[in-house]
Amino acid sequence: MDFKKINAPTTTITRDVEKLLNATGNIYEAVVIIGKRANQIAVELKQELSKKLEEFSSYTDSLEEVFENKEQIEISKYYERLPKPTLISLQEFEESKIYYRNPEKAGKPRQQ
């Protein structure tokens, strides 16, 4: 995922609840979908950050030696400035970029 191209806000903004309701018909279902997507994004971010920080890590035998690595600090600051996973998932949900399905609704036959 390319986080540089994300146009999600970095601060909390007021959302129209009706937009969230229209997508699923149930506000609670929409919140669950957004929450699950936020968890996926958080895991991706953490894995990506860990990979980048590993490249610059120095392995020493003693715990007393702690080195401040400028590259690691800059990478960490960059990830701190990114929009939070919840805000990213909200933006994706509003733009209909999240695929979701409810197995309970899909598996039930229609009653007439």
Please state the pTM of the whole predicted model.
Answer: 0.77
Is 112 inside a domain boundary?
no
Mean of the per-residue pLDDT values for the chain? 81
| Residue 26: other Cβ atoms inside 10 A | 12
pLDDT digits (tens, 9 = 90+) for 10-65: 787 888 888 888 888 889 999 999 999 999 999 999 999 888 888 876 665 455 54
Domain count, the chain: 1
Q: Which domain holds residue 74?
A: 3-57+65-101
Is 110 inside a domain boundary?
no
Is 109 inside a domain boundary?
no
CA atoms within 13 A on the CB side of 78: 14
Is 108 inside a domain boundary?
no
Is 45 inside a domain boundary?
yes
Q: CB of 72 within 8 A of CB of 53?
A: yes
For residue 75, the model assigns a pLDDT of 87
| Residue 4: other Cβ atoms inside 10 A | 6
